[in-house]
Every structure is written in structure tokens, then in C-alpha cells.
Amino acid sequence: MAPTILLVFLLLMNFFPSLTLSESTSFGFPSFTFRNLTLLGDSHLKNGVIGLTREIGVPSSSSGSLIYENPIRFFDQESNTTASFSTSFSFSINNLNSGSFGDGLTFFLSPDNQTLGSPGGYLGLVNSSQPKKNKFLAIEFDTRLDTEFNDPNGNHVGLDIDELDSIITADAVLQNIDLKSGNLITAWIDYKNDLRVFNVFLSYSTLKPPTPLLSVDIDLSHYLNDDMFVGFSASTEGSTEVHLIHSWRFKTFGFLPVRPKSHPHNVSDSTVTVISELPVSNSTKKHHNRLGLGLGIAGPAFFFVVLAVFSYVSVKKWKDMRVEKGLKAGILTGPSEFSYRELYVATRGFHSSRIIGSGAFGNVYKAIFVSSGVVGAVKRSKHSHEGKTEFLAELSIIAGLRHKNLVQLQGWCAEKGELLLVYEFMPNGSLDKVLHPEPENDILLTWSHRQNIAIGLASVLAYLHQECEQQVIHRDIKTSNIMLDGNFNPRLGDFGLARLMDHDKSPVSTLTAGTMGYLAPEYLQYGKATEKTDVFSYGVVILEVACGRRPIEREVNRQKLVNLVDWVWGLHGEGRIVEAADKRLNGDFKEEEMRKLLLVGLSCAHPDSAERPSIRRVLQILNNEVDLIAVPKTKPSLVFSCSLTVEDIVSDDEESKTTA
């Protein structure tokens, strides 16, 4: 039987060789979304094109980078092989002002997935204060002559390794290319490790030229000895140059398959023990031969039948459980999972005295974790109206959001038919309670606090709208959903109504959700949530911050309802907009700054969504990087067939005055 068992074992090892093969990488972006990409600095996505620097009409200093989010293997230790690589991309360098130019863009490889350098001649690749910190291999497309880095001219291509003083450069004019022309340019960059040759080609067409613009014999294996990240960077300094990446393809190749590792149970001639045959009869030998042959065939067959059945059962079970397990795993990679008992004890059994806020999705309790001394906020949500799996899917993405102006999710618990979310505790509560305090609350937001709130909220919305892998439409931006930390910095919270969508997809169309008074007119009419509906809500919040008045409130001693947007617009029409400022500030602000904030609020609350600025432009205005948008003296009107009355709106608004 020993030879028969040995035969079965050899057959099985034949079916399962211990091979290790290094895989090459290949990807392509005919146009861009945020999927699989990281945008840093001033880089942004617009209509499927990545802008690496700011698009504004006045000279500014800017830097940004675009990085493929997955590391790429360039060296295989098993075969001691360095990969070759090839990339092609289309780019354009436009100029909003013909007399303003610089500084250029780069394609780079780096071990760091957070590569972002300084503006100006540093090309968004090198930090001016620590010029030796960033490690990279880059091709620069330089549009400004910088003597500090020994540039030959303001229209060249160069190979850079760990510094911006290029190893070799070539004038783009040699292939009749003007980098600053604004035309679409295609670049091909090839490195063949076996030939130790590095080539760069440029063309206005999509046909690769027969000869390279830049060619150098170089061994890059010393630099490509680890997993690397690939991407682009660009910068400006006092110019209006715009750097755009339109499409991108990349691949590695040249890895060799690794020879099978020797297995401790593999059999060779030197390890086979020869067993001398005992004298047996012919009939017994024939019987054993038949038996051996039968086992030799049936053994592997039986093994694979069992394997197939086991695989089918396992895959079916996995398919049944993959959604919830996958979602929980996604959440577990970020916030922690709490037990129900932990949260029950920390909130004193969800005692009413621990309630610090309430909303459409449940109460919020102050939680004190005695063992660690940490204080948190626990939202107790019951979701009978939507599937637990759907909510976990939404939560698993939101849990991955990271921004200094977001209330960070610390943990979660899904037990006893409830979903409990644990957030940072915000000692100053909600913006709503500070702006409209109870008599016993004497906190007054200073003008600098209010400006900081406006800028911080714009920053986090720009992150949600333009910098996340999937665009996040919040749908419920209001002062009660904006929390204030110990330094009165704003933290946007309550994503219970948020919706996720791909950046290149149509607006979300749902039943209208949100809070009356903050909702855009087109959202009320059509139920389509877009980034511009969030911008409208932001505008109302900004007016509320500047004026200290609610979006809709009754005049003192009168039954007349006053709409905040209409009221401020009326003062603007009379040339008295600064009079809308919160009287509690006692004039302790600069009039021009107050006027700017009020006009930004009105431009965001424009009835026509097409006339509202993007939140990124709002951020640029507040940071004094671009000029204000002109706001008409008379509020434009849109005609909708809407059955809602002002009284309906106020009624709904008063019912929803809660804190998150």
C-alpha cells in the first residue's frame, strides 16, 4: 500500500504546486472619479479632470498632488527582480493670464502616500523647509526657469531623483511642444529594467512619437527596491497657471515567475526507501495491482469531490453572510465595537438626566466611561424603518471620514435590536444652543469665533463634496447639527440623513428630508439632493451665525413671520446690510468683514441653484483668495407650484428644533 499512498500523494502535489508568482500592476483612468485616488493640498476634481492647483483669476501660490491609493510592487525578493514600468497620461497647462506663468507639474514615484511639497519652484514635491525629507523619482514638466535648481529654461522636461536639480533635462521645443500652450499634451514614460533605459516622449496627438524627447541609460533598481506610490504634483507661486490631468494609464511588467519552493514532503530519488518485494502468488499480485490502480484513480477523485462539496457549502454560507460581516469589518477597521452593557453603564441605564440632545434618529446621552475617565456622546437609534444592513453600509463609509471639522465617530454597538453610536463629547454643545441661548446660558460667540465657524464649516463641506472617494451629500445642515469643541471650533455631525453618491452620477432623488427653513427651494419641489442644496443650507447657517436670528421666526409682539434670507436681502437692497449684524456683538467687528460674510450667505442662499457658488469657491472667498460674487440688490424669484405655506414651514420647523 505504501507505493499506492505515495502515488496519491504525488498526484495531489501535482495538482497543488507551491508556486509564487509576483503579479504585475495595471490600471487606467480614461477620466477621473475619486475612486482609488488620494487628493492632497489644492488638488480637486471637476468634470472628470483632476486640477492639481487652484483655478482662480488672480495670482496665487498653490500646490497639490494626486496619488494612486494602492502601493505598487516594484521589486520581488523571491526572484530578485526589479519591475519595468510604462505610463502614459494626457495633461494641459493653461494660463488665465498670459503674463503669469509657473511653475509646472511632475509625475513621481515615492514610498510615501502623503507626498505634498511647497508651492513655487518646489513643484509640490519638495518641502521648502525640509528639502531632503521627501524621497522620490520624478519627471518634471517645468514652466519656469529657476536658477536655484539649475533649470535650462522655462519649457523643459527633467529626470529628478530625491532632489529638483535634474540629472538630465531636455527642451520640449525639440518635439515642437510648448508646455504652457494650454493644448492637450500626451506624455509617455517608459523604463525597461533589463535594458537599463529610461525614455520620455511628448506629443500633441495620441500617437507615440518614434523617438524620445529625453533618453538616458540608467539603472533605477536601487531606487525601485520597495513598494512605491505613483502620482502627480504641481505648484504655482504668484501665478494663475492651472495644471490639469485628463487621463492616465500605468502598468508594471517584467517580473519572472518564481521556481517552486522545495516542499518538506516532496519525494526524490534519494529519499525513496526501496522496499523489497515479498514473494506472493500471481493472483495476489494482480489483485494488489488492480486495487492499487483503483485507489490511485479513486483517491484523487474522491478527494476532489469532497473538496468541491466543501467549497460549495463554504461559498454559499459566505455569500449569505458576506454583507453584514463585510460591513462590520469595514467599521471595525476604524471605530471600536462597544458592548451594550458598557454603554448602558456609562449612561446610567440611558437615564433621562443624561440626555444632552435629541433628533429624528433618537436621543443623545452623555456617557462617562469610569474605567478610562473618557467622556463621550452616545446616540441611541432605533431603525425599524430602514434595514440594519443598509444603515451599516452607510455607516461603514461615514466611519472612514476624517476631517478636523467633523464630529468623529469613536465606536458603535449593534445589540438588542438597537444601533448605538459613540461620538466625541463636545463640551460647548451645539451652535444652535450658543446662538440662541436659554436665559441661564451667557455664552456669547465673538466675531472671530463666528468667522472661524464659517470657514471651518466650508472646509468640511468641501471635503465631503469634492475630496471623498464617494461624494457625501449631508442633506441636514443646520445649527443644531454643528457642534462646538472646547475652543469653539465647529464640528459637523449627524449623518443620519446623509446620502452617498459617485461624483459622476446624477443627483440623489429621495423623499425630501431635512429641516424646514434650511432647505433649498428646488429640493422642496423635486426632492433632488445635490451639493448645491447643501450650499443653500450652508448659506442660511452663515446668515444665522452673522445675525443671531433663526431662519424663520416671529417678530416680537407680532404674529408676522420673518424669513431670515428675505430680511437680509431687503437690507442689502437698501444698502444697509451691515445692520443685520447680531446686536449682541455691540459693533465689535470690522464692517467689511461682516459685509463679506453676509453677502457670502446671500450668494449661497440664492433661489437659483445655478447661481450659487461651489463650496470650494466659498472657502476661497472667506480666505481672501478670490473676490466676492456679485449679489443682486433684489432677491431673484423662482416660480414653483408648491402647496406649502409659510405657516406649514414654521410649524414643521418648530417641531424639529432639536439638537444632535
User: What pLDDT is attached to residue 139?
Assistant: 97
Report H helices in 251-381.
282-332, 340-346
Q: 142: which 3 cell numbers? A: 517645468
First to last CA, the chain: 74
DSSP code at position 341: H
Q: 364: which 3 cell numbers? A: 443623545
User: What pLDDT is attached to residue 360?
Assistant: 55
| Catalytic (active-site) positions | 476
Residue written as grid cell 472619479: 33
Q: Are 466 and 616 in contact (CB under 8 A)?
A: yes
To 5 degrees, how large is the angle CA 268–CA 273–CA 279?
135
Beta bridge partners of 84: 253
To 5 degrees, how large is the angle CA 338–CA 342–CA 344?
120
Q: What is the pLDDT of residues 461-509, one digit of tens each?
A: 999 988 877 788 888 899 988 999 888 999 998 765 555 554 444 344 3
Beta bridge partners of 409: 423
So where are the chain's domains? 2-17+279-311, 26-252, 336-424, 431-655
DSSP string, 79-118: TTEEPEEEEEEEEEEEESSTT----EEEEEEES-TT----
DSSP string, 427-438: TT-BHHHHHS--
Phi, psi of 302 (to 5 degrees): -60, -40
User: What pLDDT is attached to residue 191?
Assistant: 95
Pick the CATH number of 26-252 from 2.60.40.10, 3.30.60.50, 2.60.120.200, 3.20.20.140: 2.60.120.200
> Residue 421's closest CA among 493, 370, 481, 484?
493
> Span 336-424: which CATH code?
3.30.200.20
Q: Are 76 and 243 in contact (CB under 8 A)?
A: no
Other beta carbons within 10 angstroms of residue 412's beta carbon come to: 24
Q: Are 245 and 46 in contact (CB under 8 A)?
A: no
Task: Name the pairing type of β-strands 508-509 and 528-529.
Answer: antiparallel
State the DSSP H helix or E strand holding residue 130, giving kind and residue range, or none if neither.
Answer: none
User: What pLDDT is attached to residue 515?
Assistant: 67
DSSP string, 506-574: PPEE-S--S-TTSS-HHHHHH-EE-HHHHHHHHHHHHHHHHH---SEEEPTTS--EEEHHHHHHHHHHT
User: What pLDDT is attached to residue 279?
Assistant: 44
How far from 384 is each of 323, 339, 511, CA to CA, in Å?
19, 21, 17
Beta bridge partners of 85: 191, 252
Intervals of the chain under pLDDT 50: 1-20, 258-286, 319-327, 329-333, 384-387, 390, 502-513, 640-660
Peptide bond into 178 cis (omega under 30): no
Q: What is the pLDDT of residues 335-348, one digit of tens each?
A: 678 899 999 999 99
State the DSSP H helix or E strand holding residue 604, giving kind and residue range, or none if neither.
Answer: helix 591-604
Phi, psi of 171 (to 5 degrees): -75, 125
DSSP code at position 463: I
Please tell me the distance from the alpha carbon of residue 488 to that of residue 431, in angstroms, as a whole number: 9
Please tell me the distance from the alpha carbon of residue 483 to that of residue 306, in angstroms, as a whole number: 58
> Span 431-655: which CATH code?
1.10.510.10
How far from 254 is each of 71, 261, 598, 621, 634, CA to CA, in Å?
18, 21, 60, 50, 67
User: What pLDDT is attached to residue 270?
Assistant: 34
User: What pLDDT is attached to residue 289?
Assistant: 56
User: What pLDDT is attached to residue 336?
Assistant: 77
> Residue 93's closest CA among 169, 165, 187?
187
> Residue 634's closest CA among 531, 565, 587?
565
User: What pLDDT is attached to residue 258?
Assistant: 46
Q: 198: which 3 cell numbers? A: 529610461
